[in-house]
Chains A and B, each alone.
Chain A
Amino acid sequence: MGGSSPCASCKLLRRRCAKDCIFAPYFPSDDPHKFAIVHKVFGASNVSKMLQELPIQQRGDAVSSLVYEANARVRDPVYGCVGAISYLQNQVSQLQMQLAVAQTEILCIQMQQESTQIHQDDKPFLLPTYNNLDTISQYLNSASSSNIVIQDPPPLKRESLWT
Chain B
Amino acid sequence: MNPGRCAACRHLRRKCPPDCIFIPHFPPNVPQLFVSVHRIYGASNVAKLLQQLPLHLRADAAESLCLEAQYRIEDPVYGCVGLISLLQQQILDAEKQLAKTRAEIAFLKSQAAQHPQAAALRGNLSDNAADLSFSDHHQSFCG
Contact = CB atoms under 8 A, between A and B. Distances in A.
Interface string A21-50: 000000000000000000011110110001
A79 B64 contact: yes
A68 B66 CA distance: 17
B45 A42 contact: yes
Nearest to A80: B64
A1 interface: no
A120 B124 contact: yes
Interface in B21-61: 30, 32-33, 39-42, 44-45, 49, 52-53, 57, 60-61
Contact of A88 (B70, B79, B88, B120): B88
Interface residues of B, number: 61
A12 interface: no
For the residues of A in contact with B, the DSSP-based class is helix
Contacts of B44: 43
B77 A92 contact: no
A57 to B, nearest CB: 10
Most chain A C-beta atoms within 10 Å of own C-beta, residue among B57, B70, B81, B134: B81
A84 B90 contact: no
B20 interface: no
Contacts of A40: 45
A88 B123 contact: no
Contacts, number: 165
B116 interface: yes
A85 B81 CA distance: 9
Contact of A80 (B65, B95, B105): B65
24 contacts: A41-B49, A42-B41, A43-B41, A46-B41, A46-B42, A58-B77, A64-B81, A66-B79, A69-B81, A79-B61, A91-B87, A92-B87, A98-B98, A99-B94, A99-B97, A103-B101, A110-B108, A113-B120, A116-B119, A117-B127, A120-B120, A120-B124, A153-B86, A154-B83
Given A91-B91, A95-B98, 18 more contacts: A41-B49, A43-B44, A54-B77, A65-B78, A69-B79, A69-B80, A73-B68, A77-B53, A78-B60, A85-B84, A88-B84, A98-B98, A99-B98, A109-B108, A113-B120, A117-B127, A156-B67, A161-B70
Interface of B: 30, 32-33, 39-42, 44-45, 49, 52-53, 57, 60-61, 63-68, 70, 72, 76-84, 86-88, 90-91, 93-95, 97-98, 101-102, 104-105, 108-109, 112, 116-117, 119-121, 123-124, 127, 134, 138, 142-143
Interface of A: 40-43, 45-46, 50, 53-54, 58, 61-62, 64-66, 68-69, 73, 77-85, 88-89, 91-92, 95-96, 98-99, 102-103, 105-106, 109-110, 112-114, 116-117, 120-121, 147-151, 153-154, 156-158, 161-162
